[in-house]
Amino acid sequence: MGKTRKLLSIAGSDPSGGAGIQADLKTFSAFGCYGMAAVTALTAQNTRGVTAAYPVAPDIVAAQIAVVMADIRPDAIKIGMVATPEIAAAIAESLGEEPRNVVLDPVLLPTQGASLAAAGLERALIATLVPLARLVTPNIFEAAALTETPQARRIDEMAAQGQMLIEAGARAVLVKGGDLSGEPVDVLVADGETRLFHGRRIATRHTHGTGCALSSAIAAGLAKGASLIDAIAAAKVWLEGALEAAEALELGEGRGPPNHFYGVW
C-alpha cells in the first residue's frame, strides 16, 4: 500500500456535510489519504445557505493544531474558513515558518447566506497565511476582496489579480473562474508564468462545497508527491466527475454537494 499520506484540514464545520472540514475529510479519503481536522468555526448551514457562524477561540484552534503537529505530522495542510483575524494569526503562529504543502482556500463569502468572515480578515490573511501557503485558491469574488480591486470579468483580469497576490507574498495563486459565464477557466500564476486550466461546465445544482473539495484534492495530490500543476489538473478532473455523479445522491432542496466518493461507491 505504501506510505500513508496524512493531511490536516484547518477549517469550519458544515453540519450538512457538503463543505468545510466534512468535505475536506471526504476528499482526502477519496484520494486514499488519512484526514485530520482542526475546527476554526461552527456554522449553521445546509444546501439552502448559511444562517449563522460561531468562531472558535483562537487558543483552542492553536491547541488543536499543536497536538496534531506534535504526534501525526501532516504531509499537506488545507486551510479553509478562518473566520477572524485573530484565528488567522493563531494558525500562522502554530504552523511557523517551516516550508510545507499548505493550500489556502480563502473562504470569505458563501454563495448563499451569512458572511463567513469578520471585518479585516482579508488583510489579516495577506499578512499572516498567504506567505505560508504553497498555493492560494481564491474564486473571483475572493480575489477581488483580497486585492481590493473590482471583480474580474476576463482571464487577463484574473491573471492580474493573481500577480497582485504574488507581489503581496503568495508563492502561487490559482484564481478560479467557475463563476464566470461560459466554459470555466482557472488561472494559475506561479514562477513568473501564467497557465490556464480549462474545464467543462457540468449542468448540476449540486455545487455546494466545490471550492473546499478542489483545494483539498490539490492538497492531497501534493501530499502524494505530485507537482503543483499535476495536482491541480488531477483535482479538476476528479471534481468534474464528482459533480457529474452528484445527482445520484439526491441530497437537499438547494445546492447539494458533489459526490466525493463517486469513484469508490
What mean pLDDT is predicted for residues 234-245? 96
209 belongs to the catalytic site:
yes
- Top pLDDT among 265 and 32 is at 32
Domain membership of residue 23 as a residue range? 6-199+223-249
From the candidates 12, 80, 212, 256, give the one annotated as an active-site residue.
212
pLDDT exceeds cutoff 90 at 191? yes
212 belongs to the catalytic site:
yes
What pLDDT does 134 receive? 97
225 belongs to the catalytic site:
no
Q: Give 125-142 pLDDT, tens digit per residue.
A: 999 999 999 999 999 999
CATH of the domain at 138: 3.40.1190.20
What pLDDT does 236 receive? 97
**Residue 204 in domain:** no
Q: Give 146-165 pLDDT, tens digit per residue.
A: 999 999 999 999 999 999 99
From the candidates 176, 177, 178, 256, give the one annotated as an active-site residue.
176
What mean pLDDT is predicted for residues 221-232? 98
What pLDDT does 97 receive? 78
Q: Give 27-49 pLDDT, tens digit per residue.
A: 999 999 999 999 999 999 999 99
H or E stretch covering 147? helix 140-147
pLDDT exceeds cutoff 70 at 113? no
DSSP per position, 58-127: HHHHHHHHHHHHHHS--SEEEE----SHHHHHHHHHHHTT----EEE------SSBS-SS-TTHHHHHHH
**Residue 180 in domain:** yes
211 belongs to the catalytic site:
yes
From the candidates 27, 210, 221, 224, give the one annotated as an active-site residue.
210
Average pLDDT score over the chain: 93
What mean pLDDT is predicted for residues 221-247? 97
Half-sphere exposure of 66 (CA within 13 A, CB side): 9
From the candidates 35, 209, 221, 256, give the one annotated as an active-site residue.
209
User: What pTM does this model have?
Assistant: 0.95
**Residue 257 in domain:** no
Tally of structural domains, the chain: 1
What pLDDT does 119 receive? 80
**Residue 212 in domain:** no
**Residue 109 in domain:** yes
From the candidates 113, 211, 221, 256, give the one annotated as an active-site residue.
211
From the candidates 35, 207, 224, 236, give the one annotated as an active-site residue.
207
What mean pLDDT is predicted for residues 233-258? 94
By percentage, how much of the chain surpasses pLDDT 90?
84
Cell 459565464 identifies what position?
181
**Residue 108 in domain:** yes
**Residue 87 in domain:** yes
113 belongs to the catalytic site:
no
**Residue 148 in domain:** yes
